[in-house]
Structure 1
Amino acid sequence: MSSNKVIHAIYNDDDILMDAVKQTRKAHHHIEEVFTPFPVHGLDKAMGLAPTRLAICAFIYGCIGLSVATAMMNYIMITDWPQDIGGKPSMSYIQNMPAFVPVMFEMTVFFAAHLMVITFYMRSKLWPFKEAENPDVRTTDDHFLMEVAVKDNEEELTSFLRNTGAVEVKVIEKH
């Protein structure tokens, strides 16, 4: 058998799927992907996926937002067009900083949120007008699909996945 075959095991319950993922990993079969209609808590850990580094990106993006806010307010309110607003001094940024805190906070959140969305789409390779890669339309409604790589063990793997509680097992030729 060639290595471009995969088996699609379809489950109708997330708890059965979790047990099947654990059994499949314990039996040293390679899980290519799991498709679910909603996020399943703990599935990433059960699949052995590395923890995400997106939180680091969020922190960096927040720092960039804070820096942009600080530079923007210093230039606009102190350097370029200083104004006497409510009798507050406009000679230095530090003297006015308490009034700038809300803007600093909002720009930090704005940059972190928007750049995180862009990062997520780029990391997930979700471009505009991209074709869906969902192998079975039922996984958007109420079924769960585990895609397992076949390596000269098609018969054994098919019966193994049936025994894990799969309601349907199909061998698919991947392109």
Structure 2
Amino acid sequence: MSSTKMILGVFDDPDEMMDGIDGLQKNSVTIYDVYTPMPIHGIEDKLNIKDSRLGYAAFLCGCTGLSVIFSIVYYTLVHDWPMNIGGKPHFAMPDFVPFCFEWTVLFTAFGMVGTFFFATHLFPGRTARVMDLRATNDKFVIAINPKGLSLPHEDITRILTEAGATEVKHNERKYVSYE
């Protein structure tokens, strides 16, 4: 059994990296992840990344905020402390709109922050996991998990170098800390 935990292909150009992804996918090599210093158009489709479900979480957080403040305002203004102001009814909907809107936005904002941190494991206090620090500056990195691959490591190295990789590293899976 190999001691290699991760194979990293380091590229200088995003187009060469996209060619490397194509070459690996033609040979049925599963790509663990791709690290880039900037967004690259079309990479999600190429890696078959599903659309985010954060919108559903935002909707649920907004509905929660709306129902919480509507319940509080309704209970307060209709049941607990009804006031006769200018002959208006106690349950006047235009009075509820500003509160409901603001609390919907508040719950959605805080809920999205919490959901994002939970989904991406980027909550505060956690050490950042970066395969290669140069991927945050000027390099493009393809990470391949060699477990269960039918191709030998030399063939993966050849595919990456033919695509234009400036460096191919067979390393232990160590995470680099920013500290």
Smaller-chain TM-score bracket: 0.7 to 0.9
1:114 to 2:106 alignment: no
User: Residue in 1 aligned with 2:43?
Assistant: 43
Q: Secondary structure at the match of 1:40?
A: coil
Once the two structures are TM-superposed, the CA of residue 50 in structure 1 deviates from its matched residue by: 2.5
Return closer, same or farther for 1:35/1:88 CA change in 2, 3 Å cut-off.
farther
1:144 to 2:145 alignment: no
What letter is aligned with 2:118? Answer: M
User: Residue in 2 aligned with 1:100?
Assistant: 96
Once the two structures are TM-superposed, the CA of residue 115 in structure 1 deviates from its matched residue by: 0.8
Q: How far apart in 2 are the matches of 1:156 and 1:42?
A: 26
Aligned-CA RMSD value: 2.1
What letter is aligned with 1:12? Answer: D
> Any gaps of 5 or more consecutive residues in structure 1?
none
Return closer, same or farther for 1:2/1:55 CA change in 2, 3 Å cut-off.
same
Dislocated runs of 4+, deviation >6 Å: none
Quick one: percent identity of the two aligned structures? Answer: 38
1:89 to 2:85 alignment: no
TM-score if structure 2 supplies the norm length?
0.83
Return closer, same or farther for 1:160/1:131 CA change in 2, 3 Å cut-off.
same
Contact 2:84/2:90 (8 A) holds in 1: no
Return closer, same or farther for 1:26/1:98 CA change in 2, 3 Å cut-off.
farther
> Any gaps of 5 or more consecutive residues in structure 2?
175-179
Q: How far apart in 1 are the matches of 2:49 and 2:171?
A: 24
1:14 to 2:14 alignment: yes
Once the two structures are TM-superposed, the CA of residue 29 in structure 1 deviates from its matched residue by: 0.6
